[in-house]
Amino acid sequence: DAGVIQSPRHEVTEMGQEVTLRCKPISGHDYLFWYRQTMMRGLELLIYFNNNVPIDDSGMPEDRFSAKMPNASFSTLKIQPSEPRDSAVYFCASSLTVNQPQHFGDGTRLSIL
Amino acid sequence: EDKVVQSPLSLVVHEGDTVTLNCSYEVTNFRSLLWYKQEKKAPTFLFMLTSSGIEKKSGRLSSILDKKELFSILNITATQTGDSAIYLCAVSPGGTSYGKLTFGQGTILTVHP
C-alpha cells in the first residue's frame, strides 16, 4: 500500500513568495495532520482534520499559514507571504481513526531565502 | 500545557550494546504514549502504549509504560548500526484534544560498528 505522499520533496524560494505544500493521505484514513520540524522546536503539530474538516488549528503560527482539505485524498498547507523563519521540514501524517497511530510522509524540506 | 522530556539527548554506543531511552511526560487526561524512529526522512511508528506495566515487544525493541510515575522506556538489545536514528516519544491526550500529539525533543542514537 502507498504511504502518505508529500510534494514537493524540497522547496527553495525567496521571502515574500507564496509556498504551497501538498499531501495525499493513506486511502481510507479519516484523520490528517500537518507538522513542522525544526532543530530548535522539534516536531510541532500545526493543524489536523477529521473527514476533511479542520478540528484544531491552534498550532498554526500566524495568519500567513493556511490549510485546506478539499477532499479525502488531498490537503494543502499554504504560506503567504513566506519568511526565512518558516524554513523547516513540514510533515503530513494520517491515521485511520483518532485511536490509531499516525503514519508520516517523507516531508517537504522548505528553505526561505 | 502538555510536555514530553526525553533523555539522554544523545547516546553513542557500539554494536551489541543494550540501550535504554527514557521519556517522561505531563499531559492532561492521558490517553496514550507513542514511540517513533526517525532516520533520514519520515518518523516511523514503533509502539503505542496505553496501559501501565504491559511490555510491548518487537524483535530487539521493547517498551513499557508507568502511568503512576509518568514515564516510559524504550529498550534496544544487541544494537546494530541500522538502529542509528532519532527516537521520538509522543503523548496523546484524551477528551476533545484527542489526536493532538505532543512530541519530545528526541534522543539521537549512534551505533558504531
Residue pairs between chains A and B whose CB atoms are closer than 8 Å: 46
CB proximity A39 to B under 8 Å: no
Q: Can you point out the beta strands (E) in chain B?
A: 3-7, 10-14, 19-26, 30-38, 43-49, 56-58, 61-66, 71-76, 85-93, 102-103, 107-112
Instruction: Indicate the helix (H) or strand (E) that contains A79.
Output: strand A74-79
B97 contacts on A by Cβ (under 8 Å):
56
Cell of B101: 500529539
pLDDT tens string, chain B, 113 residues long: the values are: 889 999 999 999 999 999 999 999 998 888 899 999 999 889 999 999 998 888 999 999 999 999 899 999 999 999 999 999 999 999 998 777 677 899 999 999 999 99
Contact A42 B101 (CB under 8 A): no
A1 has a pLDDT exceeding 70: no
A57-90: pLDDT as tens digits: 999 988 999 999 999 999 999 999 999 999 999 9
CB proximity A44 to B under 8 Å: yes
A15-62: pLDDT as tens digits: 999 999 999 999 999 999 999 999 999 999 999 999 999 999 999 988
Q: Apex CA A16: angle with CA A15 and CA A17, to 5°?
A: 95
Contact A31 B48 (CB under 8 A): no
Contact A33 B103 (CB under 8 A): no
A98 contacts on B by Cβ (under 8 Å):
98-99
CB proximity A103 to B under 8 Å: yes
Q: How far apart are CA B10 and CA B62, in angstroms?
A: 19
Contact A43 B100 (CB under 8 A): no
Tell how strand B43-49 and strand A19-24 pair up: unpaired
